[in-house]
Each structure stands twice: as C-alpha cells, then as structure tokens.
C-alpha cells in the first residue's frame, strides 16, 4: 500500500518493523539491507525523525551481529539528538548501551563515563549501578566494583526483581572468587541459583560453572568435576562450543591436579578440538559478515579504506620516530658507558683488588651493547626501510603482522634499556633508597594488572595472594621493579597453560607464638614475598651464575622472548637495599621459586 500510494512514512515504518522481525528470526544481514536503503531515502528526504529512528535500529541490528564498533558508531550519531530533546528514559538506555559497548571494546574510562551519566539521570536505577560494577570489575578495581554491585543488590531486593537478583549474585560471586573469598563466593553462588530456579531457569550454566570453579579452589575435585560435567552435558545438548571448551579446561585442570594422566591427555585433546571448532565457526561467521558488509556498506568501506591509509601512514611515522628514538637512546647509553669506563679505568690504578670485577662489568656491558642492543637496532632499521619501500604493495594483514613483529622487537629493546639504565643508576649511586610505610597490595595493584595481561596473552594462569593488611616499610618504587621483573621472568620461562604465583605470607617473630591474637596488626612481624612458576627451571650451574655480572647471559623464553641477564642482578641489589636477600630454588623441568623478606610497618 505504501508503494502504491508513494507514501514514504509508510515505507519507513515498514522497514523499521520488518527489520526487527528479521533480526529476531536470525536474519540480521537482510535487516541491514532494508534499513540501509530506507536510511538513504530518509537522508534524501531530510526527514530527521526517521533518520534518527533508522540509525538507532541499525545500531541494534549490528549489535545483534556482534559488530560492536559499527553499533557504537550508530548509537553515537543518535546520541546528540537524544540529549538535545532530553528524553530521560531513552537517554538513560542509550548511555547504558554505550557504556556496555565501550566495556566490550576495552575502553574502560569511556565505559565508566557513560555509566556515570546513566546513573546521574536516576541514582536509584539498578541497571546503571550493575553496568558500573561490571565495568570496574573488568578493570580489576574490585573495591569499586563491589560497592556498585552491592548498591544494585539493595535496589533489586526492594523491587523483588528475581531476574536482577539472580544476575547480581552471579557477578558478586565472580568478584568474591577473584578476591579468593571462598565463603562469600559460595553463598552468592547458591543465592544466584535459587533465584534462577524461581524464574524457571532449568539450564543454569553460570551458577553450576561458578560452583565448579569454587569447589576446585577449595580442593574438592570430585564435586568440582561433577558440576563441570553437568554443565558440559547441557552444553553438548545445546551445541555451545565456548561453554564446552570452558568445561574441558576445568576438567583438564582437575585431572592434572589429581595426576590422572590419561584423563588429562583426553581433555587436552578435546580442548584442542574445541579451539579448532571455534576458530572454524569464527572464520565462517567473519566471512558471512564481510560478504554482507561489502554489499550493504560500500560507502562506509570507502571511508574505512581512507582511514586505513591514514592509519598506516601514522603508524609508519610513529615507527620511524620510535626507531630514531631507540637510536638516540643507544648513542646516549654508549656515551654514558664510555664515560663510565673511563672513570672505572682511573679507579683501577688505585684499587687493584677490584680489577677483575670491573673488567667483567665493562666486558658485559659492551657485549650487550655490541650484540644484544646493536643487532636488534640495526635489524629494526632495516625492517623499517623495507616497510617504507613496500607499504603500498602489502595488504592490511601483511602490514598488521609486520607491525606486530616490530612492536615485539621494540618491547624487548625497551626492557633491555630499562635494565641497563637501572643497573647503571645503582652502580653510580643515583638510585637512592627512600623508605616509607605503605600497603603492599595497593602498591602492586597496577603492576599485577600489567603482568596479568602478559600472562593472559600467553595462556598462563597468574595466581596472586596478598593479605589486605600487608603494611610494610620500604621503597615502593624499588619493590615494584623487583616484583615486576621477577613476575616477567616467571612468565617468560613458563610454557602456555602453566602457572605463575605471587604470594605474600606473614612471619610471626619467634617467641610470641602464644600471643592471644596472632593477627593483631600491633604484633611485629615480617612478610615473605614469593614468586614461583611451573616453568622450565634451571640446573645448579645456571643458578650459580644468576647474580654474577661476568657470567650473566640471556636465555630465550618459552615463546622466544629475549633478555639480557641483568634483570635478576638489578633485583638482587634492590632487595639488598632493604636489608634483605633474594633467594632462589629451581629444578630443571619443574619450575623456579624466588623469595625475599620485608619488614612490616610495626617491625
């Protein structure tokens, strides 16, 4: 009828409603075709109301296709209109949706910003509080996350919102597990499942999964295995690849912990199979998306290509600047080392007893400069020249892979330069010990977050156990360097699926074991900081050379990572400035353990 009457309003209404039906029927590509055509007509007719409506529907459709960036772009185009018209309820929904999308795209600050905008419109809206809680949880800011989640729980309870209560207890359980509060986590898990049962949810993957993880952490492997197998059976019936893979991973971990080798091998094979299946599904899905995108978004693709050219030019410019910067740092370091050598040579005439050690230092530094630093810098320069010559010939995938290799090379050089400069500052007395009293868990939070990203990229489990009351006296900057270096080394020499552990334990001073309350913060005590791993380990000869500058040498990590051999020497000297000693235990094929003691704030 709209076509016969040439009535555009009817065409727009049809396109908007019919595309919604197609999306719910699992045909989002067809919905995009209809919406794009109608949007072009609305733009031609300059019908602002329908332009906004159709863009909003396109955002919803692309979100269903999991094209987060495209969905976000359409929502951001609609947002100024919503803000100008001050549609409070709709505006709050947009803020929540945009906050979720930024969270999925790992833009934490923007996700928090829009979440707070949503909450400002209605401070008693539990969904705004929930989004903020999840955003802070993803940013590993557990204290803030729990604060928002508990406030959302209070409002859901007042509303008797069973769906909201089931969800909020699930996320509170996850947060409690992250903080290793197993008692609280267990309570939240059971509460989540109780509300899910009230909703008639008989396929509660999340609750059973949480119980499986919880029982594993408690060491109840049989119970954990029982829950994991229940979830696995449901996932097999529903053919959900991601959940099946997660189940096999926890069953593999349980089998390894119980030393059931045949079962662990079986589950490992199942994990490999699921990864292949997921990769195939992802590839198929991506190819379908690209085909639809080519047909329906030619204009957007042209803009994207232009932006891609600009991005490549900017990347080339920054890589060239980075290469020049590395060369400048190299020359400055060389000049500094020449000065250091001259000063040491003058001192040699007065201190013959230090001749051997100083010569070894000089030889080691020049060995690092001439080989470990010079060769990668020259190779990077040649690689940049090759990139400039061929940038117009290579496709996006080739350039992206090339940029990744250059970035990996630059990261290795930066680590080497940091260790060189740190060691040089120690030797010249420019790195002074400035003690203060601080909370160790709070101080190391940002460092642990960075290291956790490294571990995740290598599929390594990073376990952290630091008491909240671990107040110590020392130099915070020095201790951050020590822990960061030791954790980086542990990850470097641990193979994928391995485990790296950072633990801090309180040591009560001998003679006070009968004190009424051993946890009293007034009771003097020291803390032992331990970094252990399940990596490749070392033999006795390698351990003997760890802290000797004349014998320090780099070893490649399990993924080919480079090093200089200076990191542990720097760590040892920084620990010694705290009046402590860096200890090491290791066995080839069974991992390594480094530990040292720190004084508490009351010692």
- What is the band of 534 on the pLDDT scale with cuts at 50, 70, 90? very high
Please report the pLDDT score of residue 597 as a whole number.
93
Say whether pLDDT at 484 is over 60: yes
Q: What does the pLDDT read at residue 371?
A: 47
Residue pLDDT, tens place only, 10-36: 888 888 888 889 888 888 888 888 888
Mean pLDDT of the chain: 79
pTM: 0.43
C-alpha 476, offset from chain centre: 23
Q: Inform me whether the pLDDT recorded for 332 exceeds 60.
A: yes
The pLDDT confidence band at residue 549, using thresholds 50, 70 and 90, is low
Predicted confidence band of residue 461 (pLDDT cuts 50, 70, 90): very high
Nearest to 504 by CA among 523, 477, 534, 532: 532
Give the pLDDT score at 418: 65
> Higher-confidence residue: 437 or 201?
437
Q: Which residues contact 23 (CB under 8 A, 6 or more apart)?
A: 31, 60, 61, 64
What is the rounded CA–CA span in Å between residue 296 and residue 211?
45
Q: Going by DSSP bridges, is the β-strand pair 461-465/499-508 parallel, antiparallel, or unpaired? A: parallel
Question: What's the whole-number mean pLDDT along residues 590-603?
Answer: 85
Token pair 């951001």 is found at 76
Contact 594, 486 (CB under 8 A): yes
What is the percentage of the chain residues whose pLDDT exceeds 70?
78
Question: Would you tell me the crossing angle of helices 396-428 and 374-390 to the nearest 10 degrees?
Answer: 150
DSSP state at residue 509: P
Q: What is the 3-state secondary structure (H, E, C) of 329-372?
A: HHHHHHHHHHHHHHHHHHHHCCCHHHHHHHHHHHHHHHHHHHHH
Q: Using the Cα atoms of residue 440, residue 445, residue 447 and residue 453 in order, give the sign of their dihedral.
A: positive
What is the distance between the alpha carbons of residues 225 and 250, in angstroms, rounded to a whole number?
A: 8
Is the model's pLDDT at 593 over the cut of 90?
Answer: yes
Residues whose CB is less than 8 angstroms from the CB of residue 471 and which lie 6 or more positions away in sequence, other chains included: 437, 438, 439, 440, 521, 600, 601, 602
CA gap 384, 371 in Å, rounded: 19
Q: What is the pLDDT of residue 465?
A: 94
Among 3.50.30.50, 3.40.50.10470, 1.20.1290.10, 1.25.40.10, name the CATH number for the domain at 2-215+280-295.
Answer: 1.25.40.10
Q: Which of 2-6, 352-356, 378-382, 592-596 has the highest mean pLDDT?
A: 592-596
Q: Is the pLDDT of residue 362 over 80?
A: no
485-509, pLDDT tens digit by residue? 899 889 999 999 999 999 999 886 5
The residue among 528, 504, 503, 508 whose CA lies nearest residue 518 is 508
Q: How confident is the model at residue 595 (pLDDT cuts 50, 70, 90)?
A: very high
Q: Token digits for 309?
A: 């050219």
Per-residue model confidence (pLDDT) at position 536: 92
**Residue 427 token pair:** 């030797």
State mean pLDDT over 296-317: 66
pLDDT higher at 470 or 410 = 470
Could you report the per-residue pLDDT of 160-208, keeping only the tens digit for each?
888 888 888 888 888 877 777 888 888 888 888 777 777 765 556 677 7
What distance in Å separates the CA atoms of residue 269 and residue 273, rounded to the nearest whole number? 6
Extract the tokens encoding 69: 């960036």
pLDDT value, residue 378: 63
pLDDT band at 322 (very low <50, low <70, confident <90, very high): confident
Q: What is the pLDDT of residues 37-49, one digit of tens each?
A: 888 888 888 888 8
* pLDDT greater at residue 592 or residue 350: 592
Q: Are strands 525-533 and 471-474 parallel, antiparallel or unpaired?
A: unpaired
Name the band, by pLDDT with cuts 50, 70 and 90, for residue 533.
Answer: very high
Confidence at residue 78, expressed as pLDDT on a 0 to 100 scale: 84
Residue 210: the pLDDT is: 78
pLDDT category at 562 given cuts 50, 70, 90 is low
Find the helix packing angle between 396-428 and 476-492, rounded to 10°: 130
Instruction: Give the tokens for residue 473.
Output: 């006296």
**CA of 207: how far to CAs of 131, 214, 227, 318, in Å?**
20, 11, 10, 47
* pLDDT tens track for 78-102: 888 877 876 666 788 888 888 888 8
Least confident of 85-89, 281-285, 342-346, 396-400: 281-285
Task: Indicate the range of 39-48, 240-249, 410-419 predicted with least confidence.
Answer: 410-419
- The H-assigned helical ranges of 162-204 are 162-178, 182-198
Confirm if 533 and 498 have CB atoms less than 8 A apart. Answer: yes
User: Which class is 436-599 in CATH?
Assistant: alpha beta
Q: Extract long-range pairs of 58-62: CB within 8 Å, 24+ residues apart.
A: 58/32, 59/97, 60/20, 60/23, 61/19, 61/23, 61/28, 61/31, 61/32, 61/35, 62/28, 62/32
At a CB cut-off of 8 Å and minimum separation 6, what does 320 contact? 384, 388
Q: What integer pLDDT is reported at residue 372 of this predicted model?
A: 53
């Amino acid at each position: 009828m709209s076509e016969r009457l040439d009535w555009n309003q009817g065409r727009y209404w049809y396109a908007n409603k019919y595309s919604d039906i197609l999306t719910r029927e699992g045909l989002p590509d067809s919905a995009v075709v209809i919406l794009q055509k109608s949007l072009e007509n609305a733009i031609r007719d300059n019908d602002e109301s329908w332009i906004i409506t159709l863009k909003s529907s396109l955002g919803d459709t692309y979100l269903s296709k999991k094209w987060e960036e495209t969905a976000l772009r359409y929502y951001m185009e609609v947002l100024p209109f919503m803000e100008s018209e001050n549609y409070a309820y709709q505006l709050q929904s947009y803020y929540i949706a945009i906050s979720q999308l930024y969270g999925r795209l790992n833009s934490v600050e923007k996700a928090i910003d829009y979440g707070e905008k949503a909450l400002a419109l209605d401070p008693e809206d539990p969904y705004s509080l929930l989004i903020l809680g999840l955003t802070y949880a993803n940013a590993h800011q557990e204290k803030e996350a729990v604060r928002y989640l508990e406030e959302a729980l209070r409002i859901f309870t007042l509303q008797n919102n069973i769906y909201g209560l089931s969800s909020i207890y699930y996320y509170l359980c996850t947060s409690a597990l992250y903080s290793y509060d197993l008692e609280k986590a267990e309570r939240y898990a059971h509460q989540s499942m109780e509300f899910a049962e009230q909703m008639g949810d008989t396929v509660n993957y999340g609750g059973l999964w949480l119980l499986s993880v919880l029982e594993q952490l408690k060491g109840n492997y049989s119970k954990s295995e029982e829950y994991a197998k229940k979830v696995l059976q449901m996932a097999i019936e529903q053919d959900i690849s991601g959940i099946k893979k997660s189940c096999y991973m926890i069953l593999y971990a349980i089998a390894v912990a119980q030393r059931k080798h045949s079962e662990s091998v079986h589950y490992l094979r199942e994990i490999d199979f699921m990864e292949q299946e997921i990769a195939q599904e992802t590839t198929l899905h991506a190819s379908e998306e690209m085909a639809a995108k080519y047909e329906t978004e030619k204009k957007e693709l042209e803009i994207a290509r232009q932006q891609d050219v600009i991005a490549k030019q900017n990347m080339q410019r920054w890589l060239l600047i980075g290469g020049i910067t590395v060369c400048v740092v190299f020359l400055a370091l060389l000049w500094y080392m020449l000065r250091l050598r001259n000063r040491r040579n003058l001192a040699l005439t007065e201190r013959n007893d230090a001749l051997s050690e100083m010569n070894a230092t000089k030889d080691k530094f020049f060995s690092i400069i001439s080989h470990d630093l010079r060769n990668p810098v020259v190779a990077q320069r040649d690689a940049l020249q090759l990139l400039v010559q061929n940038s117009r010939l290579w496709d996006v995938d080739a350039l992206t892979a090339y940029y990744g290799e250059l970035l990996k090379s630059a990261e290795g050089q930066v680590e080497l330069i940091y260790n060189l400069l740190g060691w040089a500052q120690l030797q010249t007395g420019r790195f002074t010990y400035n003690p203060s009293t601080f909370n160790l868990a709070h101080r190391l939070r940002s460092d642990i977050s960075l290291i956790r990203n490294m571990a995740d990229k290598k599929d390594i489990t990073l376990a952290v156990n630091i008491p909240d009351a671990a107040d110590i006296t020392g130099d915070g900057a020095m201790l951050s360097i020590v822990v960061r270096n030791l954790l980086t080394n542990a990850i470097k020499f641990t193979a994928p699926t391995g485990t790296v552990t950072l633990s801090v334990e309180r040591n009560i001073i001998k003679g006070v074991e009968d004190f009424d309350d051993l946890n009293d913060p007034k009771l003097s005590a020291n803390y032992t900081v331990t970094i252990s791993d399940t990596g490749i380990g070392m033999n006795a000869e390698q351990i003997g050379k760890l802290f000797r500058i004349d014998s320090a040498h780099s070893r490649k990590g399990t993924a080919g990572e480079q090093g200089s051999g200076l990191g542990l020497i720097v760590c040892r000297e920084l620990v010694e400035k705290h009046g402590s000693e860096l200890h090491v235990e290791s066995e080839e094929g069974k991992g390594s353990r480094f530990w040292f003691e720190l004084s508490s704030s009351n010692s």
